[in-house]
Each structure stands twice: as C-alpha cells, then as structure tokens.
C-alpha cells in the first residue's frame, strides 16, 4: 500500500507512526510530508521525507511532485496548515483520502459559528473532499457528529494506544534528575505524578487550589512535569505563583527538561495516584500509562472519560469544582494509606484492558486493514 501522509514533523504524537512505517516497509510504502522534520532522518531510512518550506517555490515543487505520483491513501493528520492541505486534497492522485481529527477546535472553523464566511465555506469544502474521517476518542467524535450530520457515514472511531515496547521493556533509570528525585521520596510518601503539557485546558490550577485545603496532605508529594514547555510560559508562571502563595513545598513543577522514556516509566511505577483534568478531547498516553502501571487515576466527568468507565475501566471521576476535586483526593489518599488491597483487582483489570484494546501497533494495523477493505469495494 502506497501512502502519502501529511502531519507535524515533530512530537510524541507522530513519532510512533513513523516507527510503525519504518518497521513495516514490506507492507507499506510511506511518503511523509511536513513543514519541518525534527527527528533523526537516519532512524527512518525506509520513509521518503519531504519538507515543505515557506514560499511559492516550495508549493510549486509539491505540485510537480504530486503530478508524477500515484498513491493508494492520502492520510492527513489534523486540521491545520490550510494551504498545503488544500493542495494535497485537490492534486494528490489517490484512491482514498483520510483525515484524522484529534483536535477538538480546528474543525469548528467549518461551522456557522465562524463569522468568516469564506473561510467557513473553504473548510467545509475540504471536509467534504475526505472519504474517511477518523477520530481518536469520543469527545471530538460526538461533537463533530452533532455539528456535521451529513458526514456521519464517513466517521470512524479509531483509538491509538501505547507502543509495544512499553509492554515489553525493563525499567532502568537513566537520568541523574530522575534518580535524585526518586531517592528524595520516602516509602511513606503518597506520590502524585503528571507528565504532560500544562495549560488552561488541563485545569492544573484547580488541582493546586484543591490541594490548598487538603486535610491529609502530610507525606503527599506532587510532581507536575512537562518536557515541552518553558519557564516563561504564562500558565507555568501562574502555576508557580499559586505554589508560592500557598506554600506548597511538597509540589514540584518541572518544565523544559527532557527525560528518557525509561525514566517516565520509573516515575509511573513509583506513583501512588494520578490526576488528569481536561476539556480537550484526547485519550492521552499519560492516562493509559498511569493505568498500565496500576495507578488509581482521578479524571473529570465528561464524555471521553465517562466512556472509559462505561468500557469497564476502574477510574475515579469528579466534577471540575475545586471542592469536589478536594473531596476525591482526600478519599483516595486515605484509602491508599489504609487499604492498598482496595486497588489491586481494579488495577489488574485496567492493565489487561489496555493490553487488549490499546496496543498502538495493533490499532494502527487495524486502520490500514480497514482502509484496504474500503479501497476494494
């Protein structure tokens, strides 16, 4: 199967896709188009990589390239880089066009709420041009269906998951930071860990404010970690101010420091409790990792996370009211201290469900089997 894929050329979301195609060169021939490629090209010798630079010349070169090639699948990740996506949709010679929508805001440019009529018509035109629309989780899937009834026959829910090496790898701490941090934790400490981007959509400030009234915060340690953000990020500055105002000596906010995969896994293994409050639809790897390493996790009540509960996962839900977050934290911290056996069967079930339903390689293979079946029709 010959595939032309357009996506960001950096980040944790796209890297496993590139690894998948690198390993499966006999099944799939991938041409990968991006505006900037941020990985070591030597890792992906089986993939044709094309960077589209700014300016007219680069766009003309893209059109010349497309005029000479024939693909089975055009696979576009995300609803961004409007002009390039427009050129790909109109000029790629392909049997099927696929759009993977994981962002819960960009597609709304095609709704009547967008007062820019020309842009709204253009985005709707592009949506109509795709044959298949994939969604990674339920929030965006549900909202999109409510906004675009006429496209529901094109819509498919296709979760991703954790990479196989997470299931198979031995954990060996590599960085001095991780080793030092783990050594700073006492056996009696209740360690709450979260290693993802912090933003207003993640409501970390509400979590911190819930901690301020926590009755049983003795021996609680919290690490909020993001390798991709800077100390000058406005929201990070705000969080650190909250930490200072509330004398949260037990909370560490670490940003801009790279940690190897093994170190993140070591922190998950030591973790006692995970939290994730989000109003951006994604089933993040962090949620799956937390549960795979048998951590109880508190999530907020909304469609994507309620669906996890419906599917049999043992999670703890709360509203985004500070008092409700505080109550859930207190209940679980008390339970962790007094009755660890309470979590064992629940954690084992979560782990097995993830192995069964959220193996990245198996789920991506299912996507292309599905596309192959559509092409044959």
Evaluate if residue 242 carries a pLDDT over 90.
yes
pLDDT digits (tens, 9 = 90+) for 256-313: 888 888 899 999 999 999 999 998 877 888 999 999 999 999 999 998 999 999 999 9
Q: Is the pLDDT of residue 218 over 90?
A: no
Q: What pLDDT does residue 374 have?
A: 94
For the stretch 113-165, pLDDT in tens is: 889 999 899 889 999 999 999 999 898 899 999 999 999 999 999 999 999 88
Question: Is 96 found in the same domain as 206?
Answer: no
- In whole angstroms, give the CA distance from residue 285 to residue 152: 27
pLDDT, position 377? 80
Q: Are 45 and 70 in contact (CB under 8 A)?
A: no
Q: Is the pLDDT of residue 107 over 90?
A: no
Residues 333 and 198 both lie in one domain: yes
Q: Indicate whether 188 and 239 sit together in one domain.
A: yes
Sheet of 132-135, strands arranged across: 48-51, 29-34, 2-6, 71-77, 94-101, 132-135, 155-157
105: pLDDT confidence band, cut at 50, 70 and 90? Answer: confident
Burial code of 351-364, b = ≥16 C-beta within 10 A, e = fewer?
eebbeeebbbbebb
Average confidence score pLDDT of the chain: 93
Q: Which two tokens stand for residue 32?
A: 């990968």
Place of tokens 């829910």: 157
Give the number of other CB atoms < 10 A from CB of residue 23.
13
Task: Decide if pLDDT at 197 tops 90.
Answer: no
- What are 222's two structure tokens? 């919290």
Based on the fold, state whether residues 196 and 143 are members of the same structural domain: no
- CA-atom Rg of the chain in angstroms: 22
Between 280 and 180, name the one with better pLDDT.
Answer: 180
**Per the structure, how many domains does the chain have?**
2
Question: 68 and 91: one domain?
Answer: yes
- What does the pLDDT average to over 204-209? 95
Same domain for 277 and 210: yes
Instruction: Answer whether residue 12 shows pLDDT above 90.
Output: no
Per the structure block, which two tokens stand in for 357? 């339903």
Can you give the pLDDT at residue 29?
Answer: 98
Residue 353 structure tokens: 């469900």
Whether 137 and 176 share a structural domain? no
Residues 154 and 12 in one domain: yes
pLDDT at 103: 74
CATH number at residue 37: 3.40.50.2000
Domain that holds residue 337: 165-357
Q: Are residues 50 and 94 located together in one domain of the fold?
A: yes
Residue 279's pLDDT is: 87
How far is it, in rounded angstroms, from Cα 237 to Cα 234? 5
pTM (whole model) above 0.85: yes
Residues 58-88 have pLDDT tens digits of 999 999 999 999 999 999 998 778 889 999 9
Q: In this model, does residue 215 exceed pLDDT 80?
A: no
- Asked whether residue 96 carries a pLDDT value surpassing 90, the answer given is yes
Tokens of 169: 């790898």
At 203, the pLDDT band (50, 70, 90 cuts) reads: very high
Question: 113 with 211, same domain?
Answer: no
Q: What pLDDT, on the 0 to 100 scale, is given for residue 58?
A: 93
Cα 155 to chain centroid distance, Å, stands at 20
Contact 140, 104 (CB under 8 A): yes
Q: Are residues 239 and 268 in the same domain?
A: yes
Residues 197 and 266 in one domain: yes
Q: Classify 111 as helix, strand or coil.
A: coil
């Amino acid at each position: 199967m010959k595939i032309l894929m357009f996506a960001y050329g950096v980040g944790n979301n796209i890297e496993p896709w590139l690894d998948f195609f690198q390993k499966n060169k006999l099944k799939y021939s991938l041409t990968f188009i991006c505006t900037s490629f941020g990985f070591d090209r030597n890792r992906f010798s089986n993939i044709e990589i094309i960077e589209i630079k700014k300016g007219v010349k680069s766009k003309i070169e893209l059109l010349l390239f497309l005029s000479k090639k024939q693909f089975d699948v055009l696979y576009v990740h995300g609803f961004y880089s409007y002009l390039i996506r427009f050129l790909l949709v109109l000029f790629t010679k392909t049997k099927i066009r696929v759009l993977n929508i994981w962002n819960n805001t960009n597609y709304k440019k095609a709704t009547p709420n967008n007062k820019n009529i020309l842009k709204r018509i253009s985005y709707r035109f592009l949506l109509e041009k795709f044959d298949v629309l994939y969604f990674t989780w339920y929030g965006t899937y549900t909202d999109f269906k409510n906004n675009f009834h006429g496209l529901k026959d094109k819509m498919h829910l296709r979760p991703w998951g954790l990479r196989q090496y997470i299931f198979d790898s031995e954990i060996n701490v590599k960085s001095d930071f991780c080793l030092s941090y783990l050594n700073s934790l006492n056996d009696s400490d209740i360690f709450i860990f979260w290693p993802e981007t912090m933003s207003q959509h993640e409501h970390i400030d509400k979590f911190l404010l819930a901690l301020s009234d926590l009755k049983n915060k003795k021996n609680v340690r919290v690490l909020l970690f993001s390798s991709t953000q800077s100390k000058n990020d406005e929201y990070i500055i705000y969080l650190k101010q909250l930490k200072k105002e509330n004398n949260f000596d037990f909370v560490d906010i670490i940003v801009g420091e790279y940690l190897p995969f093994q170190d993140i896994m070591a922190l998950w293994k030591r973790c006692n409790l995970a939290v994730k409050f989000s109003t951006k639809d994604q089933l993040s790897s962090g949620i799956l990792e937390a549960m795979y390493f048998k951590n109880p996790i508190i999530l907020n009540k909304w469609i994507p996370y309620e669906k996890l509960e419906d599917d049999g996962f043992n999670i703890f839900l709360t509203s985004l009211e500070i008092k409700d977050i505080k109550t859930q934290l207190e209940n679980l911290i008390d339970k962790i201290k007094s009755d660890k056996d309470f979590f064992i069967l629940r954690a084992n079930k979560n782990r097995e469900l993830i192995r069964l339903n959220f193996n990245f390689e198996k789920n991506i293979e299912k996507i292309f089997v599905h596309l192959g079946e559509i092409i044959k029709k």
